[in-house]
A and B are shown apart, each in its own frame.
Chain A
Amino acid sequence: MTQPAIRLSKISKRFSSGPAIIENLSADIAPGEFVSIIGPSGCGKSTLLMLVAGLTPLTSGAIEVEAQSPQKARKTLSFIFQDATLLPWRTVRANVALGLELAGVPKPEREAIVTRQLALVGLEHVAGHYPRQLSGGMKMRTSIARSLATSPRILLLDEPFAALDEITRDRLNEELLRLRSEHDWTILFVTHSVAEAVFLSDRILVLAPHPGRLAHDIRIDLPATRSAETRLTPTFDTTVAEVSRTLRHVEAGS
């Protein structure tokens, strides 16, 4: 087997003297895999992402991102937060350029990349707008364009579309898959929505709460290329029903 993109080895996390948020969780994420994490609240989904990003220290165990510590692997990682986390004093264009600017990419090159990213997410027409002039969906697109500008290999998404209406959410899901087909990202995606997880993922990790641990590791047998039509197939429906049942079991068992 090839080197996993992300390896979680018996990781545990507790904040100071509180109860364990995550206990003894192990999983390997293969390069190029789209893995969703679902589970009842309190199962440590978001904390797991923070750990992979190296934003909070582990209590025990080890995390390897491309065989490095998360802190060392930051250049390969991009984190997309639940809210768009845009800088309100910067235009869309300047927000997308932020990561490149911090990395010291020279201006002409930066401008070229930003223009390309804006076209990719369909935001050229609002490049000069400020975040307060944008809809929720446009803000999220800006946030995604910013994350992609630094050409990461691994994306960590923490319920990025939770605050959006269903139509916008579905459309952004389809866009995410389209973008993914053009790159070979490894994606770790936290969500509350079973349908979203099934639509997007190769694999779903179901976590159980108190303390957060791996309850189920489900492969999704949908065609590799998916579109809006995929949601209308019987296989999609049965898969969503199955995963929902599993999730309910986990919730009842906690």
Chain B
Amino acid sequence: MKKLVVNFFTAAAIFAALLLMWVAAIHSLHLQAFMLPTPAAVAKAAWDRMPDLLTSLGITAAEAAAGLGASIIAGVLVSVLFAQSRWIRRMFYPYTVLLQTVPIVAVAPLILMWIGSGLFPVALIAFIICLAPIIANTTQGLISVDRNLVDLFVMNNASRTQTMLRLRLPHAMPALFTGIRISSGIAVIGAITGELFASSVRVGVGGIGYAIQYANSQLETDYLFALVAAATVLGFTFFFSVTFVEWIFLHKWHESARTPDED
């Protein structure tokens, strides 16, 4: 507990120092507000336009969550399929690498052109970039089960389904969560990338990606900064939510989910 308090104050001090450097830079370099607004101006812009900001945040959060959720379901199903045989993995695994290497910024306008704008195509873009880390990690978790444990199930005449449900899937849980944690951060990035190309809900209001572009075109740099901060907070929230759920599921039995202070 004491360590937590110390950590909090260290983090707060570092943050305060950064804000000071920011203000100092504006004054010493004589920067204009549209180039770099002061922290106070950013805070004021965020406060004044809170409803818009929250609307944008809500849209992006919904898209990213939908994309991430769908990628978890699809990713686990694909991994279960991959775990069935080495042949299936050899044939289809390269395509999951492709998912990861295709530049999403280049593909996003195509997707929006093909299926139109709105929440769905943006969620689809988030889904695409979330998929590969989940498949890669979960597949590894499913196939790396200790040989003796597999033999134990064989000796008990376990069916393929029983071995999958009672051995491979629980064994892959920590790996699945590693995948989800990686994807939780990029889900938000994927959604914002998609929104850069998506049209607005009404003029000036859309997801964070849209709003960033709009603010940029209007030279509302203070609001743009507020949007960037909101996007960062959103990414953090996703990441920590996943970490929390992971802790709930795994802390009783798995080493990685415990805090280092515990024993």
Contact = CB atoms under 8 A, between A and B. Distances in A.
A89 B155 contact: no
Nearest to A131: B253
B151 to A, nearest CB: 5
Interface in B143-167: 146, 148-149, 151-158, 162, 166-167
A80 to B, nearest CB: 10
Interface of chain B, main secondary structure: helix
A79 B157 CA distance: 12
Given A78-B155, A79-B151, A102-B156, A85 B146 contact: yes
A99 interface: yes
B93 to A, nearest CB: 26
Contacts of A131: 253
B190 to A, nearest CB: 31
A55 B154 CA distance: 8
Given A55-B154, A74-B157, A89 B146 contact: no
A132 B156 contact: no
B173 A83 contact: no
B152 A85 contact: yes
A88 B157 contact: no
B21 to A, nearest CB: 46
Contacts of A167: none
A131 B254 CA distance: 10
Given A53-B155, A78-B155, A88-B253, A102 B148 contact: no
B255 interface: yes
Contacts of B255: 132
A102 B151 contact: no
A107 B153 CA distance: 19
B252 interface: yes
Interface string A22-53: 00000000000000000000000000000001
Given A102-B166, A131-B253, A132-B253, A89 B154 contact: no
29 contacts: A53-B155, A55-B151, A55-B155, A74-B156, A75-B157, A78-B155, A79-B151, A79-B152, A79-B155, A81-B148, A81-B152, A85-B146, A85-B152, A87-B166, A87-B167, A89-B171, A89-B173, A89-B252, A98-B152, A98-B166, A102-B153, A102-B156, A102-B157, A102-B158, A103-B157, A130-B252, A130-B253, A131-B253, A132-B253
Interface of B: 146, 148-149, 151-158, 162, 166-167, 170-171, 173, 252-255
Interface of A: 53, 55, 74-75, 77-79, 81, 83, 85, 87-90, 98-99, 101-103, 130-132, 150
Sorted nearest first, the 3 A-B pairs with minimum C-beta distance are A102-B156, A130-B253, A85-B148
